[in-house]
């Protein structure tokens, strides 16, 4: 055995041999027994008491996932569990961070972005709405929003659950057309999977899609 106050890993660590590539050796001094306790920990555990979710690991190192747009229906993730943090995803289109709130596959995981969903109103049924910010959830059924008859203010609509491509979202102009140019307008606007978010504001004679 080594002399008091000294410790050689080769004499105390079992089984002998090199540690796996993703593992660090740890040494803890135990005061009651005046001895060193040797252990090991993977990189993703280093400095914490728990291993990160498997979907957040890349070669043993925690990384942020990324996706072009809303990750709902597109990216697998894990919700926070106990001391484990949730999966995160960087939205390269809207430049915001999403947090996984329901564990699931790419098709079933639910993601939430505090930056996009601060303020505004969640809408999941058809009806007439005043100007404002709306998170339209069509996960259960198609939704048709009718804007006010007066050409004033602006509306912003966000695909709350990334389901517009499954159950359509339609905006009814309530007597006024909407479009990008006066020569390219219609009484309604049908959003689909390519429209994650859009805004309409009042032009002189129609609602202008932004």
Domain ranges of the chain: 9-44, 52-112, 121-209
User: What whole-number distance in Å separates Cα of residue 150 and Cα of residue 201?
Assistant: 11
- Looking at residue 10, its pLDDT comes to 39
Average pLDDT rounded to a whole number, residues 170-176: 94
Determine contact, residues 24/41, Cβ cutoff 8 Å.
Answer: yes
User: What whole-number distance in Å separates Cα of residue 169 and Cα of residue 147?
Assistant: 13
Give 71's contacts (C-beta < 8 A, 6+ positions apart).
65, 77, 89, 91, 98, 109, 111, 162
- Looking at residue 21, its pLDDT comes to 55
For residue 97, pLDDT beyond 80? yes
- Looking at residue 142, its pLDDT comes to 93
- Looking at residue 40, its pLDDT comes to 59
pLDDT class for 25, splitting at 50, 70, 90?
low
Whole-number mean pLDDT of the chain? Answer: 76
User: What whole-number distance in Å separates Cα of residue 59 and Cα of residue 179?
Assistant: 49
**How would you class 55 by CB atoms within 10 Å of its CB: exposed for 0-12, middle for 13-18, buried for 19 or more?**
middle
- Looking at residue 26, its pLDDT comes to 65
**Structure confidence by residue, pLDDT tens digits, 29-81:** 677 777 777 665 554 444 444 455 555 544 333 458 888 877 877 888 888 88
pLDDT class for 162, splitting at 50, 70, 90?
confident
Q: Which fold does the domain 121-209 belong to in CATH?
A: Jelly Rolls (2.60.120)
- Looking at residue 53, its pLDDT comes to 54
pLDDT class for 14, splitting at 50, 70, 90?
very low
Question: Which token pair is 196?
Answer: 């994650």
Number of other CB atoms surrounding residue 44 within 10 Å: 21
- Looking at residue 3, its pLDDT comes to 46
- Looking at residue 2, its pLDDT comes to 45
Number of other CB atoms surrounding residue 39 within 10 Å: 10
Question: Which token pair is 166?
Answer: 């499954």
Of 101-105, 124-128, 157-161, which has the strongest mean pLDDT? 124-128
Residue scoring higher pLDDT (98 or 144): 144
């Amino acid at each position: 055995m080594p002399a008091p106050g000294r410790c050689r890993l080769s004499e105390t660590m079992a089984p002998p041999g090199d540690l796996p590539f993703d593992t660090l050796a740890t040494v803890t001094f135990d005061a009651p027994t005046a001895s060193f306790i040797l252990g090991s920990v993977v990189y993703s555990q280093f400095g914490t008491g728990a291993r990160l979710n498997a979907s957040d690991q890349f070669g043993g190192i925690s990384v942020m996932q990324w996706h072009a747009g809303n990750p709902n229906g597109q990216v697998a993730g894990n919700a926070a569990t106990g001391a484990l943090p949730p999966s995160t995803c960087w939205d390269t289109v809207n430049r915001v961070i999403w947090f996984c709130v329901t564990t699931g596959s790419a098709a079933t995981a639910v993601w939430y972005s505090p930056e996009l969903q601060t303020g505004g109103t969640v809408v999941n049924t058809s009806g007439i709405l005043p100007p404002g910010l709306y998170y339209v959830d069509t996960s259960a059924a198609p939704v048709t929003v009718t804007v006010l008859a007066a050409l004033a203010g602006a509306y912003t609509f966000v695909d709350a659950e990334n389901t517009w491509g499954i159950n359509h979202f339609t905006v009814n102009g309530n007597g006024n057309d909407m479009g990008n140019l006066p020569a390219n307008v219609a009484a309604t606007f049908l959003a689909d999977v390519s429209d994650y978010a859009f805004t309409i504001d009042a032009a002189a004679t129609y609602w202008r899609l932004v």
